[in-house]
Amino acid sequence: MSPKRYRVGLIQMACGPEPAENLRRAAAFVEEAAARGAQVVCLPELFQTQYFCQREDIALFDLAESIPGPATDLLGQVARRRGVVILASLFERRAAGLYHNTLAVLETDGSIRGLYRKMHIPDDPLYYEKFYFTPGDLGFKAHDTTFGRLGTLVCWDQWYPEGARLTAMQGASTLFYPTAIGWHPAEKAEYGEAQYDAWRTVQRGHAIANGVFVAGVNRVGFETGNIRGDEAPGLGLEFWGGSFLADPFGRILAQASHDKEEILLGDIDLDLLETTRRNWPFLRDRRIDAYGDLPRRFLD
């Protein structure tokens, strides 16, 4: 039987130009989080590299790897040694010409419990993800693990209430959103505070509307998409950090800074989830007979 309470560790890290070093540091962060009592540890989106989607470059497909592969092998060893569940966001090579932005769930014995392939793929200035990633085809996923059923989504998914709802409806106690999101340097002064506030607010809304815990796990630091000395053109991105854990009432249980590497720790209490849903029974009162138009793009 899964425990009624478990501790999560959210890794807010900076990513450098050497993929092997980023993976080594990520494993060390997981080890530290586990030593501090974390039982489920989530890394930020695509942590093995600086955020390479700042440009479209066919050579960067060489960064992708199979699952299972080197990253899951190394992190699986850490999971087994420390007895933790690890959520790792990876650039997956599924086949020649077929790549995904994929989250692997590694169990306490080091095995791969499940995969989630990012469903919503952005295409914005300096976020050219449609060039690299095929949209996910596994649907929205909740995974049974040693510490309960965990919901996994990735970055751009965090703006869509449908993904949060469908994942929560599968019984997830926590929705994890590994993320790579930051400010355009020219926009930060005017829009930066509002952008971050919108990002955190929409995810707190998912927590409240679904009666679940939500973890937003971002990277931190200024990046030019430097991959082994090869930088993207342009002004770069300042990743805003600000990782957080919210409870089912939207209250912030743990909050990271905007400019430092940190390990956030927080407790998931399933009794609190039960109590919150009993008093705010949004799932009970949903009008499932009236939502037939949701699959339509727009109601003209």
Q: What is the pLDDT of residues 247-290, one digit of tens each?
A: 999 999 999 999 999 999 999 999 999 999 999 999 999 999 99
Q: Given 3-state DSSP classes, what are the helix, strand and coil percentages for the chain, each rounded to the nearest 5?
A: 30, 30, 40
Residue 3 pLDDT class (50, 70, 90 cuts): confident
Q: Any idea what the Cα angle at residue 14 is, between residues 11 and 18, rounded to 5°? A: 115
Residue 86 clears pLDDT 80, i.e. is over it:
yes
Residue 218 is encoded by which pair of tokens? 């971002």
pTM for this predicted structure: 0.98
Residue 2 pLDDT class (50, 70, 90 cuts): confident
Q: What would the mean pLDDT of 53-64 be, rounded to a whole number?
A: 98
Indicate the angle between helix axes 188-210 and 161-168, nearest 10 degrees: 30
Peptide bond into 135 cis (omega under 30): no
**Would you say 223 and 183 are in contact if contact means Cβ atoms under 8 Å apart?**
no
Residue 205: inside a domain, yes or no?
yes
Structural domain count of the chain: 1
* CATH number of the structural domain spanning residue 232: 3.60.110.10
Q: Any idea what the Cα angle at residue 263 is, between residues 257 and 265, rounded to 5°? A: 105
Q: What is the pLDDT of residues 215-251, one digit of tens each?
A: 999 999 999 999 999 999 999 999 999 999 999 999 9
**Would you say 203 and 167 are in contact if contact means Cβ atoms under 8 Å apart?**
no
| Amino acid, res. 222 | F
Residue 299: inside a domain, yes or no?
no
Strands of 237-240's sheet in order across = 182-183, 237-240, 220-223
Pairing of strands 40-42, 5-12: parallel
Residue 1 clears pLDDT 80, i.e. is over it:
no
Residue 18: inside a domain, yes or no?
yes
Which residue among the candidates 15, 42, 53, 155 is catalytic per the annotation? 155
Q: Which range marks the domain in which residue 16 is found?
A: 5-285
Annotation says 45 is catalytic = yes
Residue 156 pLDDT class (50, 70, 90 cuts): very high
Residue 295: inside a domain, yes or no?
no
**Can you count the helices (H) and strands (E) in the chain?**
6, 17
The whole-angstrom separation of Cα 243 and Cα 158 is: 13
- Residue 104's φ and ψ, nearest 5 degrees, are -100, 135
Q: What would the mean pLDDT of 78-87 be, rounded to a whole number?
A: 98
Q: What is the pLDDT of residue 255?
A: 98
Which residue among the candidates 15, 45, 129, 238 is catalytic per the annotation? 45
- Ranges of H-type helices in 182-269: 188-210
Q: What is the pLDDT of residue 89?
A: 98
Q: What is the pLDDT of residue 119?
A: 98
**Cα 149 to Cα 4, 71, 170, 288, distances in angstroms:** 11, 23, 9, 24
Residue 297: inside a domain, yes or no?
no
Residue 204: inside a domain, yes or no?
yes
Closest CA to 142 of 99, 105, 108: 105
The whole-chain average pLDDT of the chain stands at 97
Residue 94: inside a domain, yes or no?
yes
Which residue among the candidates 15, 118, 141, 238 is catalytic per the annotation? 118
Q: What is the pLDDT of residue 70?
A: 98
Q: What is the pLDDT of residues 97-132, one digit of tens each?
A: 999 999 999 999 999 999 999 999 999 999 999 999
Q: What is the pLDDT of residue 58?
A: 98
Residue 40: inside a domain, yes or no?
yes
